Amino acid sequence: METYHEPLERAWEEYGVPPAIVTAVIGVETMYGRYLGNYRVLDALVTLAFDYPPRATFFRKELYEFLMLVREERQDITDLRGSYAGAMGYGQFMPSSYRAYAVDSDGDGQRDIWNSRADAIGCVANYLSAHNWENGAGVAIRLEVDREFRELPENSFSDMRPNMTGSQLLEMGFKIPSTHLDKTVALIRLRSDAESEYWLGEWNFYVITRYNRSPMYAMAVLQLAQALRIGKS
C-alpha cells in the first residue's frame, strides 16, 4: 500500500473502492503477485473445456473469451500464464472478466494484469465498482446473540444478497446496532471447529462475493483489509 500509494489513491478516486480493499483482494488472490500461476492459459482452458464435463460449458465460453482477448490485446497466445483454471494476473481474472473489467491505468495502451501493478489495481477496483460497490459504506458486523438464541436451520443462510432488515434479525435473537435496524442486510454464518460465527452482511459484503462466491473468501478480504488499515495508521 505504501509502494503503490498513488495508483491506489487514483483508483479510489475514480472507482470509489478503498485502497485497503483492493490491496486485500490482490493479497488473497496471489500474495501480492508471488503466485500468479505457471500454467499456459491456453492449455488450462482447452483441457477444462473438452476434458472436464461438469463445467465444460463454462470453460468453453472462457476459451472463446481468451481467444478474443489475445487478439484484442495483441498478445502471444502461448505466452500467457495463469492458474490451473485459467485465472490470470495479480487479481486472477478469468478471460471474460479481463475483457469486461480490465483497464489501462498506467496509460501505456495495454491492459496488462501480469506486469503492471497500476493496471492490476485499476482492474480490481473497476470490477468491484461495476458490481455496485458503495463507497463509504460498511461491509459486515460481527453479531452477538441473546441467551435464548437457538441455532437456525440451514436454509436461513441460502442467500448472501441482502434480503432482510436488521429489525428481522433482532426478532431472531441477534443484537443489532440501532443504526442497522432499518437497513437491508444479509445473515452470514461462518462455521469453525469451535463455534459458528454470525455476521450482519451489508451490500459491500455481497459485492466482494461477486469476485468469489464464498463467504469465507469475502471475510478473508474484509479482515485482511482491516489489518492493513491498522498497519498503515
CB-based contacts of 24, cutoff 8 Å, min separation 6? 220, 221, 222, 224, 225, 228
Q: Is 29 among the residues known to form the active site? A: yes
Q: Which residue has the cell 452470514?
A: 188
Q: Which of 33, 38, 41, 36 is nearest to 63 (CA)?
A: 41
Cβ proximity of 165 and 184 under 8 Å: yes
Q: What is the pLDDT of residues 71-82, one digit of tens each?
A: 999 999 999 999
- Element (H or E) spanning 60, and its range? helix 56-72
Q: How far apart (Å, rounded) are the C-alpha atoms in residues 133 and 47?
A: 34
pLDDT for position 156: 63
Band (pLDDT 50/70/90 cuts) for residue 148 is low
Cβ proximity of 24 and 225 under 8 Å: yes
Q: How far apart (Å, rounded) are the C-alpha atoms in residues 36 and 87?
A: 9
Q: How far is CA 2 from the centre of its chain?
A: 22
Cβ proximity of 85 and 48 under 8 Å: yes
Q: How far apart (Å, rounded) are the C-alpha atoms in residues 98 and 110?
A: 12
Q: What is the pLDDT of residues 193-217, one digit of tens each?
A: 767 889 999 999 999 999 999 999 9
Q: Which of 67, 205, 185, 198 is nearest to 144 (CA)?
A: 198
Pick the catalytic residue: 29, 62, 65, 202? Answer: 29
Helices (H), 103-202: 117-130, 166-171
Band (pLDDT 50/70/90 cuts) for residue 150 is low
Q: What is the pLDDT of residues 161-196, one digit of tens each?
A: 999 999 999 988 899 999 999 999 999 999 877 678
Q: How far apart (Å, rounded) are the C-alpha atoms in residues 175 and 178?
A: 9
Does the global pTM surpass 0.85?
yes
Would you say residue 154 has pLDDT above 70? no
Q: What is the pLDDT of residues 15-38, one digit of tens each?
A: 999 999 999 999 999 999 999 999
CA dihedral sign, ordered 213, 216, 219, 225: negative
Cβ proximity of 22 and 125 under 8 Å: yes
pLDDT for position 41: 98
pLDDT for position 153: 62
